Amino acid sequence: MTKLSVRHLLGIKNLTENDIHTILDTASQFKDVINRPIKKVPSLRDITIANVFFENSTRTRLSFELAEKRLSADVVNFSASGSSVKKGETLLDTVNNILAMKVDMIVMRHSSPGAPHYLSGKIPANVVNAGDGTHEHPTQALLDAFSMREKLGDLAGKKIAIIGDILHSRVALSNIFCLQKLGAEVMVCGPTTLIPKYLPEIGVRVSHQVKEALEWCDVANVLRIQLERQQIKYFPSLREYSLYFGITKAMLDNLNREIVLMHPGPINRGVELSSDAADSSHSIILNQVENGVAVRMAVLYLLAQQ
């Protein structure tokens, strides 16, 4: 296993193509580990990792915690609700207090874009970005790429459509950076109001017709509508969004070839995906969740070597 070129995982933008391949190849080995009867390895036995989450999370937090425990690391969980943050403590003071307890690595989710980048310049510990506002979510993009590579092989030349709320999604931006570095073609699809204007400038195709996107792609990665980040109405109603951009099993079955269906979760069933589509043979959504543990094990293991 070769080393990464970075000390922190702040975003896919900071990684080289070689870094991405190194993480994915390492994750393949860790996937074998988590499918064994004894799922633990002593790789990070002397490392203490703090999961510092300033936003709600289910899959990402559980996945990181499980990855850390599979690697035999000591784990500390911090949640902003019920902490001194509510009393006015700053981000830097909070983290420095955690580091004073001899923590080696910080996994952080924060609502402000750039928070992990700011922190990485102020503290000696490795920092892993578990999502910063609407900016990036690097481990989600890596596990998505790992899941696609597992299903399709080399991603060079493959066509990936990202469908849904692109404007507010940190998953979309990280996926675009990751897929382009791996040589894939990327299209985004959604209402005009939810597609950032700059995307064509970075080589991303744009469509506003979900049928066109599905016919073009090898993989459809569907994103939920992030109502909690929307300050104004971007479309009339969820019902109307579902009518124009929702994906059903019938739509998938009517395509002239089989495509792969993905979703980072949580799924809003009946909005962006119907239940029969989410549970169909096209879907690898639960594989993504399983692969998330292996990919995060790889990230933590490789950063610990730095």
Binding annotation = 59-60, 87, 109, 137, 140, 170, 224, 265-266
Beta strands in the chain (DSSP E): 48-53, 74-79, 105-110, 126-132, 159-163, 185-189, 205-207, 219-222, 260-262
Amino acid found at 137: H
Beta bridge partners of 205: 187
Alpha carbons 178 and 138: distance in angstroms, whole number: 8
Which residues contribute to the annotated binding site for carbamoyl phosphate? 59-60, 109, 137, 140, 265-266
For 92, how many CA atoms within 13 A lie in the half-sphere containing its CB?
Answer: 8
The answer to whether 19 and 6 are in contact (CB under 8 A) is yes
Alpha carbons 293 and 298: distance in angstroms, whole number: 9
Which residues contribute to the annotated binding site for L-aspartate? 87, 170, 224
Return the sign of the alpha-carbon dihedral for residues 54, 176, 190, 200: positive
The answer to whether 216 and 187 are in contact (CB under 8 A) is yes
The answer to whether 172 and 194 are in contact (CB under 8 A) is no
